[in-house]
Structure 1
Amino acid sequence: MGDHLISDWQGAGLLFPSVATGIIRTIKQGVIAKKLGAMSQPDMQAIEDNLRNVLGLKRRS
């Protein structure tokens, strides 16, 4: 629940088809090697909508 298949994974600079999971995780800064790119607005909106749904939060107006 809450997973989102990133539709524009190549445009986001990802190396492979990827999923934004519904699991909230903390990643230490030292584990991040570099920024690959940026998520497209439609994918970010879908991820935000899924997260709000899972957390039972209202959509911003």
Structure 2
Amino acid sequence: MAERTVDPKLLEILVCPLTKETLRYDAQSQELISEGARLAYPIRDGIPIMLPDEARSLDEEEK
């Protein structure tokens, strides 16, 4: 299966809906990471799901 990528121009304009900060693209997990909100927004079928309720908490990884 080919690894999906997100359009770099889209990454330039997307921000975290909670903190309004830029996001880091994690190609391996297919997520957009908000360091400030400690959330990972999923990318499904090449579409970023920018809903906090759909995001995974990064704090759970540290437990």
TM-score bin, normalised by smaller chain? under 0.3
Higher helix share: 1
TM-score (norm 2): 0.26
TM-score (norm 1): 0.27
